[in-house]
Amino acid sequence: MSFKPSTVQVIKPVTPTTATFRDDIFKGKVVLSTGGRSGIVYKMIRVMMLHGADSVIMGRNGPENEKAAAQLSKETGRSCLPCQADVRKPEDLKAAAKKAFEKYGRIDFVICGAAGNFLAPIEGLSENAFKTVVDIDLLGTYNTIKATLPYVRETQGSYIHISATLHYRGLPWQAHVSAAKAGVDALSAVLAMEEGPRGVRSNVIAPDESSTSLQEYKRACLPPKGDRNHDSMPLGRWGDGDEIAAMAVFLFSDSANWITGQVFVVDGGENHVRVPQLPYPQAVLDPKSMMDRIQAKI
């Protein structure tokens, strides 16, 4: 028999985690998140709830948090507690963790996902703007760990930190977030070493650039369709937030009990293609024309 390899690109479908994992694997468990009212972390919380967990979502915008919590409960039938908190303020996070414990009596899983980002070259980035992103992404992760660790030790639970892949190479206009995410990766590894002997695990998920306004912003300045890097991604398409959430389900499950201190890239192989995401070197040599081009398209 002769096997003929496909000459057309195979694109596999998005498959829900409920088709793979039991829908009660997190029954009786509680997952707390920063950044859970939107984007990728919202999807992670939703999927965790579909597998039986109750949840806590934290963010600065109280009304939006409440709206998202109500929607999550409606979609999953589980309880979601909204807590207004700024990850730059340790007292906010400690109060939210206490409130979560008072409501549910436990915290098993923590997703550190709150982040901010924008495009700017170093020369156009103020010291304060750089610090703000590091404060939210990196210091905010540290503050979240500090506020929740006493509870997570009790349940011998697990952390997932949301990082990125952009700091694996020197991506122009992303100095602030690259520095912050490299710090998040390092912090998670130390947490894994320090808390592993107490049964607490810590891992990182590094997503592709799937679904945010920043992504739209970036798409606006990419070359025309056909030349764009997602057309040549190994798995042939952008990811769906649910596919990033699927990694969280696995990492929080008991099947991952021997996995800690690791970074998991979930990006359809995009990281290996390594195409610069801004026209290069134009973005560096003439940032103003680049910015004008972006502004005109959004």
Ligand X SMILES: NC(=O)c1ccc[n+]([C@@H]2O[C@H](COP(=O)([O-])OP(=O)(O)OC[C@H]3O[C@@H](n4cnc5c(N)ncnc54)[C@H](OP(=O)(O)O)[C@@H]3O)[C@@H](O)[C@H]2O)c1
- Which residues ranging from 26 to 45 are in contact with ligand X (CB under 6 A)? 34-35, 37-41
Whole-angstrom Cα Rg for the chain: 20
Q: What does the alpha-carbon distance between residue 133 and residue 116 come to, in Å, rounded to a whole number?
A: 6
Q: Which of 55, 178, 181, 202 is catalytic?
A: 181
Q: Which of 86, 108, 242, 270 binds ligand X (CB under 6 A)?
A: 86
**Residue 123 has what DSSP assignment?**
G
- Which residues ranging from 237 to 266 are in contact with ligand X (CB under 6 A)? none
Tell me: cis bond preceding 279? Omega within 30 of 0 counts.
no
Q: Maximum CA pair distance of the chain? A: 68
Q: Which of 53, 120, 164, 266 binds ligand X (CB under 6 A)?
A: 164
Long-range contacts of 10-15 (CB under 8 A, 24+ apart): 10/236, 11/235, 11/236, 11/237, 12/235, 14/240, 14/242, 14/243
How many of the chain's residues bind ligand X (CB under 6 A)?
Answer: 28
Q: How far is the CB of 37 from ligand X (least distance, A)?
A: 4
Q: Which residue's CB comes closest to ligand X?
A: 39
Q: What does the alpha-carbon distance between residue 157 and residue 145 come to, in Å, rounded to a whole number?
A: 12
Q: Is residue 268 part of the contact set for ligand X (CB under 6 A)?
A: no
163 catalytically annotated = yes
Q: Considering the complex, state which of residue 25 and residue 275 has its C-beta at the smaller distance from ligand X.
A: 275
Catalytically annotated residues = 163, 181
* Residues near ligand X, by CB under 6 A: 34-35, 37-41, 59-61, 64, 85-88, 113-116, 136, 162, 164, 207, 209-212, 215
